[in-house]
Amino acid sequence: MREKHMKQLGFHIWCVAGVSRAWRRFDQEGSYVLVTDIGGFDLPEPNGPYQAVQLTAQDEFVEARSPIWRASQLVRWLRRRERLVDGNHTKPVVND
């Protein structure tokens, strides 16, 4: 998925120097989703595959979705996740 599309979905690039890079999106309650390549340590190629992990505000594991082979599958997973939880708590916080 292209950078502009990830930003439209509320993601920004998050980096731990020398360790990893990921797309990260915060939710209102502080939990967040990371999207990486299948290895989990770098940004995915624009056409995938992708790995998505949801973590709490305290960095505790909630859910993982891997592998995601197409951008449309990633978007579908994100939308499904938003519908399953109260809409007020899953709205992404846009970080520009």
The string of DSSP codes covering 50-71 is: EEEEEE-TT--EEEEEEEE-SH
Task: Classify 12 in phi/psi space as left (phi over 0), alpha (psi -120 to 50) or beta.
Answer: beta
Q: Report how far residue 19's alpha carbon sits from residue 34's, in angstroms, rounded to the nearest whole number.
A: 14
According to the model, what pLDDT value does residue 18 have? 76
pLDDT at 96: 46
| pLDDT for 87 beyond 70 | no
Cβ burial 28-54 (10 Å sphere, 16+ → b, else e): eeebbbbbbbeeeeebbeeebebbbbb
> What does the pLDDT read at residue 81?
81
pTM for the whole structure: 0.82
For residues 7 and 19, give the distance between their C-alpha atoms in angstroms, rounded to a whole number. 22
